[in-house]
Structure 1
């Protein structure tokens, strides 16, 4: 049996959608803002890329969410154009998305790793991101399979101090 640790976590989900459609939901600005982000800018060699163009290794990103004033910046480490994507996230952490066709569905595995193990990182990155990715993968499923979004865009939660830890649909 694998052991659990604070250095990484894995989340898995089956999605009843074509693998290539799911990959585009992660690997294009148009895709990732349809279910996950308020805004995403991808740059290649200092120039914004087209909203429908697949990201590539070496591209950089700036992501903005609904209900959070911060901005996440990082780099695309791997993007094979079909079933695997790795990007930097939350400082020195990395996130890998792996897709695999299984029967009439696509199995998605998300692993976030290289998480520091100080107390602040255990709370904010391991606990916070683990909970966050659980919700966002459920949101992706709702979007792809039912055409609905579960994340909060109507109510402004930014002034509530613990909103990111207490609201289930941030």
Structure 2
């Protein structure tokens, strides 16, 4: 589902952990299942990740009560080890993530094209909540 006028939304955080640790937690399925959800009543029971240009990923996100869930899928279009990830979600929207080492911390900036059927503010809140959950997970598991 291609959009005509794509709105770019950016979320960001600084994780107090070295970029190598942040990169591993972002990309390894055993870590992804511990943080890839926006609230405590959701979880990520399954993740697959083929981290290479042309590689695919899939993360299953689901309500813990079983009432709803979905697979978040995409294909990697560009990578720079421990520095940048770009991918296209299966609906055609593009996502870019930059990882910048700041001493023993890592700054993450994630920019994505908004969906047409949800308010941009709601999308930003949801993606920021997932990013905040990622930060919490990494910092608790240093």
1:17-69 Cα deviation digits (max 9, x unpaired): 110111122222223223213211235xxxxxxxxxxx111111222013142
- Say whether the 8 Å CA contact 1:9–1:111 is kept in structure 2: yes
Q: Identify the residue that residue 16 of structure 2 maps to in structure 1.
A: 16
Q: More helix by proportion, 1 or 2?
A: 1
Q: Identify the residue that residue 52 of structure 2 maps to in structure 1.
A: 56
Q: Identify the residue that residue 35 of structure 1 maps to in structure 2.
A: 35
Task: Give secondary structure in 2 for the equivalent of 1:38.
Answer: strand
TM-score of the superposed pair, with normalisation by structure 1: 0.65
How many residues align? The count is 126
What stretches of structure 2 of length at least 5 have no aligned partner?
37-43
From 114, 117, 131, the equivalent of 1:137 is 131
Q: Identify the residue that residue 66 of structure 1 maps to in structure 2.
A: 62
1:116-156 Cα deviation digits (max 9, x unpaired): 6xxxx1526x3443111110111111112234xxxxxxxxx
Bigger Cα Rg: 1
How far apart, in 2, do the equivalents of 1:61 and 1:107 lie?
23
CA RMSD of aligned residues (A): 2.2
- Say whether the 8 Å CA contact 1:78–1:87 is kept in structure 2: yes
Task: Give secondary structure in 1 for the equivalent of 2:57.
Answer: strand
Aligned ranges 1:1-170 → 2 under 5 Å: 7-36=7-36, 37-42=44-49, 55-67=51-63, 68-89=68-89, 91-113=91-113, 115=114, 121=116, 123=118, 126-147=120-141
Deviating beyond 2 angstroms after TM superposition, the runs of 4 or more aligned structure 1 residues are 126-129
Change (3 A) 1:72 1:123: same
What stretches of structure 1 of length at least 5 have no aligned partner?
44-54, 148-170
Greater relative contact order (CA < 8 Å, ≥ 6 in sequence) = 2
TM-score of the superposed pair, with normalisation by structure 2: 0.76
Task: Give secondary structure in 1 for the equivalent of 2:54.
Answer: coil
Task: Give secondary structure in 2 for the equivalent of 1:132.
Answer: helix
